[in-house]
Amino acid sequence: MKTNIFQKIINFLKEVRLEMKKVNWPTRKETIKYTLIVVGVSLAVAVFLGGLDYIFSLLLNKFIF
């Protein structure tokens, strides 16, 4: 029974290895480019949401409090 489980695990890992060879990995340049895009979009969204928060805080303090 244990050998059957170990054989299944070994077979699974062999299949994983074969599938990983088929993956189209990005180049270093592509990885850097995509990382910079994600960081840039994240910063832009953070600035936008921070600006909205600031504006709404001013409006609430002016008209409600």
* Mean pLDDT for the chain overall: 94
Q: How far apart are CA 32 and CA 26, in angstroms?
A: 10
Q: Give per-residue pLDDT as tens, 24-42.
A: 999 999 999 999 999 999 9
Q: How far apart are CA 43 and CA 50, in angstroms?
A: 10
Evaluate if residue 1 carries a pLDDT over 70: no
- Give percent above pLDDT 90 in the chain: 88
pTM over 0.85: no
pLDDT at 38: 98
pLDDT at 2: 67
